Amino acid sequence: MTDLLIYSLTLYSVLGSAIIAGVLFIFSNTIMASLAQLPAAQGIVAMQHINRIILNPLFFILFLGTAFTSTLLAVSQLWHWLKPSSMILLLACACYLVGTLLVTMVFNVPMNNALKAIDPQTVQATELWATYLRKWIFWNHVRMVASLLAAVFFILALG
């Protein structure tokens, strides 16, 4: 890959991971805290709507686009991994791919799918909601920190 292409992919990854970190911060800091204050059935319905609406083209361009550029960058650095700048770039890619994408797929998506499948008016839904809030927020914090670290490491790799 050319230096200009690597620079461009890294710049996109900085912006993508930073914006995703901001989105995840808003979820942890505001949205989930607000939903936790509602009665369980209302919180569940609201989160079910959010989970449907967030799956839109712009979100996918940012979330999956950053995963794609991170993958390309990681592969491009495998031949240069002993260079300090390559190590920083690989660390940025790992933060995003493991800490953001993989955590999302392994933890948050299955919880969202379970929430989607439940009738909000049942006792089981109330029990699920309490567990969902605690676990989902924890893993969202992990994703947020990983995305933020990725952005920082991508910035350092640009220098």
pLDDT tens, N- to C-terminus, the chain (159 residues):
689 999 999 999 999 999 999 999 999 999 999 999 999 999 999 999 999 999 999 999 999 999 999 999 999 998 877 788 899 999 999 999 999 999 999 999 999 999 999 999 999 999 999 999 999 999 999 999 999 999 999 999 998
pLDDT of residue 18: 98
pLDDT of residue 81: 73
pLDDT of residue 159: 86
pLDDT of residue 64: 98
Model confidence, pTM: 0.95
pLDDT of residue 55: 97
CA atoms within 13 A on the CB side of 63: 19
pLDDT of residue 111: 98
DSSP letter string over the chain?
A: --HHHHHHHHHHHHHHHHHHHHHHHHIIIIIHHHHHTS-HHHHHHHHHHHHHHT-SHHHHHHHHHHHHHHHHHHHHHTTSTTSHHHHHHHHHHHIIIIIIIIHIIIIIHHHHHHHHHS-TTSHHHHHHHHHHHHHHHHHHHHHHHHHHHHHHHHHHHH-
pLDDT of residue 82: 78
pLDDT of residue 84: 82
